[in-house]
A and B are shown apart, each in its own frame.
Chain A
Amino acid sequence: MIARTDNTAADILESDGGDYVLEVRDLKMHYPIKSGLTQKIVGYVRAVDGISFKIERGTTLALVGESGCGKSTVGRTLLKLTRKTSGEVLFNGEEVYAYDNKKLRSMRPKMQIIFQDPYSSLSPRLPVGEIIGEAVKEHHIVPPEQYEDYLGKVMDDCGLQSYYKQRYPHEFSGGQRQRICIARAVALNPDFIVCDEPVSALDVSIQAQIINLLMDLQESRRLTYLFISHDLSVVEHISDAVAVMYLGNIVEYGKTGDIFANPLHPYTKALFSAIPLPDPDVKTKRTILTGSLPSPANPPKGCKFHTRCPNAMPICSREEPPVYNSGDKGHYCVCHLFSDKIKEN
């Protein structure tokens, strides 16, 4: 297993002199399972089991996968909201986990997060102006005399009227609440934002508005996003690169265009076949995955996907799959199907 993840890391993170906001090497997050009176550790939930990727400044990497595959844990671990088990998280070239508390706190504004549920992520007791501006004051983002103007401008950029400042979150709809969450994050002038399924809780017309707002902000402020989602049509629209996660690992990684034009991994293919097409006459050939996601506390041996894979071979349950680099630059797939091609090279 270690050999494979190292391999992925080496391939994906080859130095090409690009300007990367975030580089992640072999990140693992294992939650201990405690049991009994003495709370002895009896095992680990391998929520994130060795993943590597990097995100170029001003671009968006989408992290896709089904529920429970560890996407959200990745987002939280990057921001040190939960502790990693091992691996490296380099933010602007510096290891996030090497910061002491004071330095971490002063770095926090540079890395922000937007959560899925705009209802639970806003404190119900604080007015909107304070939710957005509290940390602006705390970190002296602007001089005090410019504070009100700055707040008004940020709110305006995010499509919020500045007189909303005195109102409380419960007075807003889901879409407006998500705008507040975005304004809150953007107000701190971050380099990098983790968008943890920011539109999943919204209805489709609002989704489009929020996605466009995120893209406008990215352009005007040169933001870098890690966009966590399970909605592939949204991902295709917003992201520059895609990483497909399955049970704590990245199984396919590449530029959005390459992956959507030429998905390699059977899991990616199955995901894509589930995208509904807006034409009732087109018969899609769906690949239906049987069974459910295996427990990350006790993942299958060999390739973790072999229990549900339509192309499973005897070797898949025995050996970890190798990393295959398709002809496209930076398009990787971790699967035994391509073992022969690797040998040919």
Chain B
Amino acid sequence: MRKYIIRRIFISIIILFFVALLIYCIMRLMPTSYVENLARKRAETPGSTRTYKDWLDQLNAVYGLNENVATGFFRWLGNAVRGNFGESWLFGISVTKKFSQVILDSVYLIFTATILEYCIAIPLGMLAARKQYSKTDYAVTVFALLGISLPSFFLATMMKLVFSVKLGWFDLYGKVGRNFLSLSPFMQALDIAHHYIMPILTLTLISVGWLMRYTRTNMLEVLNSDYIRTARAKGLPESRVVSHHAFRNTLIPIVTMLGGLLPGLFSGAMITEMLFQIPGIGYTSYQAIMAGDIPFAMFYMVFLAFMTLIGTLLSDILYAAVDPRIRIAG
């Protein structure tokens, strides 16, 4: 097991290297260049004595874009392994500082939504499976399909219409209310929570459907197996058949998906964050990429790649932990 993990970590480092290289090449090849925009703006400033070309040459030298891609990448890599990810061009502060400013908002948002998603989807999926082809099953399925099919921007807009415009329960957008600064710390926390309700609801509703269907499918497969028939024939109470025999085996594929959630937790919810003006990582990374902010985009993407690798490793370990049939060799 330990050998296996060490081997996986080595492989991960190699993968991470190539992912970073790929992202760097793509960022350099992007049609929007932060430096070009800046040079154009400066050349067009009234009273500017230098041409766009002059500005471009000078700024390219300042931002290190006059080097070729390979040199630029290894310079970035050299700094990155020492923990120095540079300064964000767009935000003007260090990349890691900007990241730590915005990441928590996204993590709270997505963490809560994910917990809610699991708490709603798994019981509903089990219920639907136990009453396959009943009215309950169809009702749950319609609900799930609605969630899957509705785009988040539409759902969020409709919720705003109902809960903000008509009922006036929530602010239309923003992370805090207008009088936030005059509140006590406890009330401030409540205020933020209040503003988070609609984005969290949106995220939960759009994601609950697929997990519910997934749970239902797995549960059905388990419920139709011979060992469930055996458990019933043993004369066990139905509740024990479901909780002890069926649910445990249904859990195997679901638990292993938990590892896959890790990168999702840090990637942010770009559309939902934008709709509700939550200054999270989804919103920030969108701004950075659109502006061609290479240091920030590099850090964000490589961090996600890192989290994905950790997540898959975690999945594999979880798999071995929950399923006695699987023992990791080596």
Which A residues fall within an 8 A CB radius of B? 39, 76, 79, 81, 104-109, 111-113, 115, 117, 120-127, 134-135, 138-139, 168, 170, 181, 184, 188
| B50 close to chain A: CB less than 8 A | no
- Contact call A79/B233, Cβ cutoff below 8 A: yes
In the assembled complex, the Cα of A106 lies from the Cα of B249 at a distance in Å of: 26
Shortest Cβ gap from B322 to chain A (Å): 8
Shortest Cβ gap from A173 to chain B (Å): 15
Binds A, one of B51-59, B148-156, B189-197, B222-230: B222-230
Give the total number of A-B pairs whose CB atoms are below 8 A apart: 78
Which A residues are CB-close (under 8 A) to B230?
113, 115, 121-122, 181, 184
Contact of B325 among A39, A112, A138, A168 (CB under 8 A): A168
Contact of B249 among A104, A105, A123, A168 (CB under 8 A): A123
B225, closest chain A residue (CB): A120
**Number of B interface residues, CB 8 Å?**
22
- Contact call B235/A109, Cβ cutoff below 8 A: yes
Shortest Cβ gap from A118 to chain B (Å): 9
- Contact call A81/B226, Cβ cutoff below 8 A: no
- Contact call B235/A124, Cβ cutoff below 8 A: no
| B237 close to chain A: CB less than 8 A | yes
Contact of B324 among A107, A109, A168 (CB under 8 A): A168
| B328 close to chain A: CB less than 8 A | no
- Contact call A123/B234, Cβ cutoff below 8 A: no
- Contact call B233/A113, Cβ cutoff below 8 A: yes
- Contact call B324/A134, Cβ cutoff below 8 A: no
- Contact call B233/A134, Cβ cutoff below 8 A: no
12 chain-A/chain-B pairs, Cβ below 8 angstroms: A108-B232, A117-B226, A120-B226, A121-B225, A121-B226, A124-B325, A126-B245, A127-B324, A138-B240, A181-B230, A184-B230, A184-B234
With contact pairs A125-B324, A170-B325 given, residues A120 and B227 touching in the complex (Cβ less than 8 Å): yes
Which B residues fall within an 8 A CB radius of A? 133, 225-227, 229-237, 240, 244-245, 248-249, 252, 323-325
Which B residues are CB-close (under 8 A) to A184?
230, 234
Which B residues are CB-close (under 8 A) to A104?
235
In the assembled complex, the Cα of A104 lies from the Cα of B234 at a distance in Å of: 11
Shortest Cβ gap from B139 to chain A (Å): 15
A107, closest chain B residue (CB): B235
- Contact call A170/B234, Cβ cutoff below 8 A: no
A167, closest chain B residue (CB): B324
Which one of B236, B249, B324 has the highest number of Cβ atoms from chain A below 10 Å of its Cβ? Answer: B324
With contact pairs A124-B324, A168-B324 given, residues A138 and B234 touching in the complex (Cβ less than 8 Å): yes
- Contact call B245/A81, Cβ cutoff below 8 A: no
**4 further interface pairs, Cβ-Cβ under 8 Å (given A109-B234, A168-B324):** A107-B235, A113-B229, A123-B248, A124-B323
- Contact call A139/B235, Cβ cutoff below 8 A: yes
Which A residues are CB-close (under 8 A) to B231?
123
Which A residues are CB-close (under 8 A) to B232?
81, 108
Which A residues are CB-close (under 8 A) to B234?
108-109, 112, 134-135, 138, 184, 188
Shortest Cβ gap from B146 to chain A (Å): 19
